Structure 1
Amino acid sequence: LPGTRSAHPAREEKKPLKPCCACPETKKARDACIIEKGEENCGHLIEAHKECMRALGFKI
């Protein structure tokens, strides 16, 4: 239709990554370990996930 404008501006704003969506690989491994073995037995995976998050600029 003439006169219709797209909802997106010409230049795309880069949305900041949400913590829930960052590092899906380490998050999945960590969560599976916690469910199967309990949090106290998954320190290495929890740390790996935190390291990944920090590398992306999250403060944790």
Structure 2
Amino acid sequence: MGNSSSTPSPATEETKCTSTQKVGIKSGKKICCSCPETKQARDACVLANGEEDAECKKLIELHKECLRSEGFDVK
């Protein structure tokens, strides 16, 4: 009987990009939305094997290269 809302609050949606993130020079995308293929592979590997795994290190570097190609300055 109360007036409750069924829509999730924006604060709980961690996967959305925020407006304070930098935008890639070449792509015009925010860093969180750039290179989704390499990001997904990197994240899956790190979750399964840890960041120090040799294959994961390769995937991390591939993702960094992709982000650099989009115009982001990553270390």
Q: TM-score range by the shorter chain?
A: 0.7 to 0.9
1:21 to 33, 49, 71: 33
Distance in structure 1 (CA, Å) of the matches to 2:52 and 2:38: 17
| Partner deviation per Cα, 1:5-40 (whole Å, 9 max, x = no partner) | xxxxxxxxxxx3110000000000000000000011
Q: CA deviation at 1:43?
A: 0.5
**Structure 2, unaligned runs of 5 or more:** 1-27
Q: How many residues align?
A: 46
Q: Does 2:64 correspond to 1:50?
A: yes
Alignment RMSD, CA only? 1.3
> Higher helix proportion, which one?
1
Moved over 4 A (4+): none
**Structure 1, unaligned runs of 5 or more:** 1-15
Distance in structure 1 (CA, Å) of the matches to 2:52 and 2:32: 22
TM normalised by structure 2 equals 0.59
Residue number in structure 1 paired with 2:48: 36
